[in-house]
């Protein structure tokens, strides 16, 4: 009995909460939770991040990745990071809106001119500012992952123009910006967490949703929604974050390893992403989804009103949008 207690005591003495733990072998294990399935390229990138960190640290730091909302929805995961009970996560930038009004800017429709513009903004000064804009809330952004472009998919009809959204309950992420965007385009926005969306679509709680091709495919929403209209209204990236409670317990050298591992995983994810988009479009088509490429003009005509609404609610975003628009290298 005494022996068992001693063992427990010795064990506890070595355990250090690190959104995971430090074992008595001196190995730190960082828990990383996210909402996607394991076949999704972002999951593979997170596993890669863990592998690189383990290599760089000579096996002293490991990342254990928990997919599928096992540890909570994106919103819950962020809260768990804030208190340090989960160490790292990957969420959509839309989920960070409550912690950083600046980041919500990325949810504005047709914000970027093209792919090169997205890279210039996210890899430049603005991207760095956005990654650190949640630090005062104990969330440190490490890098962005490519989450492509989001387009509408529906159970009932193709969305050829915004008028086709009329009367449709469109699932949106838990974000005010997404609500404004869908309302401005003419649909009825309904926030639902990603993990609950399949059932919500199946049961008719919502009639439509919007996402990038790999997420539409990997979430199997295509089994329920047979119309995918590639209007590419937003390009909201994903963000990899570490709890500042975990970050501050790492030595400066360990912090460098973690940052490098995150950057390398972002480069790896970009490569996986392109293939994943092609594969997703091919597979959903094989499964009977009608893919259409509507003209963007009628969607673009709605943009000015959406921006006006957003600036009325958040005046400070106007200057940031201007900076984004002026970014060209």
**Binding site residues, ligand GCU, CB under 6 A:** 35, 74, 91-92, 147, 173, 194, 211-212, 215, 238
Q: Which is nearer to ligand GCU, 97 or 238 (CB)?
A: 238
What is the Cα–Cα distance from 108 to 85, expressed in whole angstroms? 32
What is the Cα–Cα distance from 322 to 64, expressed in whole angstroms? 40
What are residue 298's phi and psi, to 5 degrees?
-60, -25
Shortest distance (Å) from residue 275 CB to ligand GCU: 16
Q: Which is nearer to ligand GCU, 92 or 120 (CB)?
A: 92
Shortest distance (Å) from residue 97 CB to ligand GCU: 12
Contact 200, 207 (CB under 8 A): no
Q: Which is nearer to ligand GCU, 30 or 235 (CB)?
A: 235
Side-chain half-sphere of 265: how many Cα atoms within 13 Å? 30
Closest C-alpha among 224, 160, 216 to residue 37: 216
Q: Which is nearer to ligand GCU, 31 or 90 (CB)?
A: 90
Q: What residue spans of the chain are helical by DSSP H?
A: 2-14, 41-56, 74-82, 115-123, 125-132, 176-185, 197-202, 213-218, 244-247, 252-286, 297-313, 317-326
Shortest distance (Å) from residue 321 CB to ligand GCU: 22
Q: Which is nearer to ligand GCU, 77 or 258 (CB)?
A: 77
Shortest distance (Å) from residue 66 CB to ligand GCU: 14
Closest C-alpha among 231, 222, 224, 230 to residue 286: 222
Closest C-alpha among 42, 91, 37, 32 to residue 65: 32
Shortest distance (Å) from residue 277 CB to ligand GCU: 12
What is the Cα–Cα distance from 307 to 254, expressed in whole angstroms? 42
Shortest distance (Å) from residue 217 CB to ligand GCU: 11
Shortest distance (Å) from residue 189 CB to ligand GCU: 13
Q: Which is nearer to ligand GCU, 72 or 294 (CB)?
A: 72
Residue 318 tokens, joined? 């106007």
Q: Which is nearer to ligand GCU, 31 or 150 (CB)?
A: 150
């Amino acid at each position: 009995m005494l022996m068992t207690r001693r063992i427990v005591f010795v064990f506890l003495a070595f355990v250090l909460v690190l959104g995971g733990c430090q074992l008595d072998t001196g190995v730190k294990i960082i828990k990383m939770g996210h909402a996607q399935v394991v076949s999704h390229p972002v999951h593979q990138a997170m596993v890669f991040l863990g592998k690189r960190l383990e290599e760089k640290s000579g096996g002293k730091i490991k990342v254990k990745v928990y997919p599928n909302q096992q540890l909570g929805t994106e919103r819950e995961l962020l809260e768990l990071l804030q208190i340090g009970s989960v160490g790292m996560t990957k969420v959509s930038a839309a989920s960070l809106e409550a912690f950083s009004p600046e980041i919500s800017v990325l949810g504005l429709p047709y914000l970027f001119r093209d792919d090169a513009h997205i890279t210039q903004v996210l890899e430049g000064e603005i991207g760095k500012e956005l990654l650190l804009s949640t630090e005062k809330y104990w969330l440190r952004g490490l890098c962005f992952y490519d989450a492509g472009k989001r387009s509408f998919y529906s159970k009932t009809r193709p969305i050829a123009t915004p008028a086709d959204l009329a009367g449709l309950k469109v699932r949106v992420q838990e974000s005010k910006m997404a609500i404004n965007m869908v309302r401005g385009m003419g649909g009825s926005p309904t926030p639902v967490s990603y993990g609950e969306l399949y059932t919500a679509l199946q049961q008719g709680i919502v009639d439509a949703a919007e996402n990038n091709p790999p997420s539409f495919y990997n979430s199997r929403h295509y089994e329920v929604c047979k119309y995918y209209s590639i209007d590419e209204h937003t390009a909201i990236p994903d963000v990899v974050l570490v709890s500042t409670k975990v970050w501050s317990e790492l030595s400066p050298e360990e912090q460098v390893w973690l940052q490098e591992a995150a950057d390398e995983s972002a480069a790896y994810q970009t490569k996986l992403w392109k293939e994943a988009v092609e594969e997703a479009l091919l597979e959903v088509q094989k499964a009977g989804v009608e893919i259409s490429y509507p003209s963007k003009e009628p969607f673009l005509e709605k943009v000015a009103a959406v921006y006006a609404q957003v600036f009325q609610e958040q005046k400070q975003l106007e200057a940031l949008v201007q900076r984004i628009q002026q970014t060209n290298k």
